[in-house]
Structure 1
């Protein structure tokens, strides 16, 4: 399960970063649209994917800490 969370986090983070970079580079080039998508929408999608990747990686980190415990903490 940890390996899956790590993979999902990395893929979502890298994909989001690529979407953000694409939106910024095209906007600096003076374009407002990529096909039928407005570049602001593409940037927001990239930010959302990056945040989702951060949450997956955070879940993987916290799951590793819980797996080592054999007794409940009070």
Structure 2
């Protein structure tokens, strides 16, 4: 489960970052639309995906997993 949360958090974060970069570059180039979507909508989607990625990574850090089991075995 930890590996799945870690992978999905990274994928969501990188996808969100790519959406934000795409929206910013296209807007600076003078475009207002990407297909049928406004670039502000694409930017908001990118920010939302980045936040979801952050929450998934935080969840993978705070769930009891291998790290807490290895600490218990040392005691």
TM over 0.5, yes or no? yes
RMSD between superposed Cα atoms in Å: 1.2
Q: Which residue of 2 aligns with 1:35?
A: 35
Runs of 4+ in 1 over 4 A off after TM superposition: none
Aligned to 2:17: 17
More helix, by proportion: 2
CA–CA separation in structure 1 for the residues paired with 2:49 and 2:33: 20
Partner Cα separation in structure 1 for residue 59 and residue 49 of structure 2: 15
Runs of 5+ consecutive residues of structure 2 not aligned to the other structure: none
Q: TM-score, normalised by structure 2?
A: 0.86
> How many residues get paired?
68
- TM-superposed CA distance for 1:29, in Å, is 0.2
TM-score, normalisation: structure 1 = 0.87
1:35 to partner: Cα distance:
0.5
